[in-house]
Amino acid sequence: MDTRLLRTFVALARTGSFTAAAAELHLAQSTVTVQIRSLERELDTRLFDRLPGGTMPTRSGRRLLEEAERMLDAEARLRAVAAAGSGEGADGAVEGQVALGAGESLCSSHVPRVIASLRGTHPGVDVHLHATGTDAAVEGLSSGRLDLALLLEPEVEAADLVARPIAHEPLVYVAAPGHRLAGRAAGWPELAEESFFVHEEGCSYSDRLVSTLRALPDARPRLTRFGSIEAARACVAAGLGLTLLPRATVERQLRDGLLAVVDGPVMPPVPVQLTRHRRRWTSPAARLVAEELTRLIDG
């Protein structure tokens, strides 16, 4: 059986849309349609119900999905074994590509030194770093586009994923050095009078801050969300308000005097969850990356 057909089937089952599956696989939509029809003919069963709002796997399609994922996982193992015996890495060195997803704050703080360390000790391991939010990282692990992900979340509840905390990121309120609260202690009533520039919805620590501010009696906090931590930092450095970020993402700005700490109410540190798919094979290269992430981020 052509595993390309299975890969297309899995993408369509997950996205529920021929258009989305085609975009993910970098195929024409007509190619996705032809491949699904070919697979249905080969298996002599209808795999999807075509609905006005998209597609839904039939009972047969749902039963096939887990087996298809196992076959694709087996194919990945075979390719890894073949690569190991191809003459490259004959000295036994670990080689391979690893797709790693991480939030912007981790991409800009901890992950670069992990990649630099690996290049020095295991040059055959190529880490492809994808800056992504939690929802996109979970989808990437489910689809197989990501091998590993680092999630700044208290819990990872997706049933198909396995997560373990490898570190905790302390959070800090920051403002411009000339701000009235810079270097001072401030309670919730004072913070509620300020403008806050926070990360996009779905960021666990930003969502907690927003919900706390909005729950204060008679509070009308001025809140602006950004998809970029850099944009939030820039607004705060310009004196426009405050933000709450992992300390690692503002260490340089604090050291250079571009930002100052505000001693606000304690917010619990955010766990860094090293996450993988429960049923997918973890290659030797991915295991090595996971070990290095654990060693350096926790250290």
The pLDDT confidence band at residue 90, using thresholds 50, 70 and 90, is very low
Class of residue 256 by CB neighbours under 10 A (exposed 0-12, middle 13-18, buried 19+): exposed
Q: What is the pLDDT of residues 211-237, one digit of tens each?
A: 999 999 888 889 999 888 888 999 999
Q: What is the pLDDT of residues 17-69, one digit of tens each?
A: 999 889 878 889 999 999 999 999 999 999 999 888 889 999 999 889 888 88
Backbone phi, psi, residue 49, to 5°: -95, 125
Checking if the pLDDT of 107 tops 80, the result is: yes
Checking if the pLDDT of 86 tops 50, the result is: no
- In the prediction, which pLDDT does 275 show? 96
- In the prediction, which pLDDT does 75 show? 77
Measured in whole angstroms, the distance separating CA 134 from the mean position of its chain's CA atoms is 5
- Identity of the residue numbered 118: L
- In the prediction, which pLDDT does 154 show? 85
**Coil, strand or helix: which one is 145?**
coil
The domains of the chain, with CATH numbers, are 3-84 (1.10.10.10), 96-169+271-298 (3.40.190.10), 171-267 (3.40.190.10)
Q: What is the mean pLDDT of the chain?
A: 87
Quote the CA–CA distance of 48 and 31 in Å, as a whole number.
Answer: 16
- In the prediction, which pLDDT does 82 show? 64
- In the prediction, which pLDDT does 81 show? 64
Stretch 58-83: mean pLDDT: 79
The two counts, helices (H) then strands (E), for the chain are: 12, 12
Backbone phi, psi, residue 55, to 5°: -125, 155
Query: What percent of the chain shows pLDDT beyond 70?
Result: 94
- In the prediction, which pLDDT does 14 show? 81
Tokens 């689809």 found at: 143
Strand partners, 150: 102, 274
Checking if the pLDDT of 131 tops 50, the result is: yes
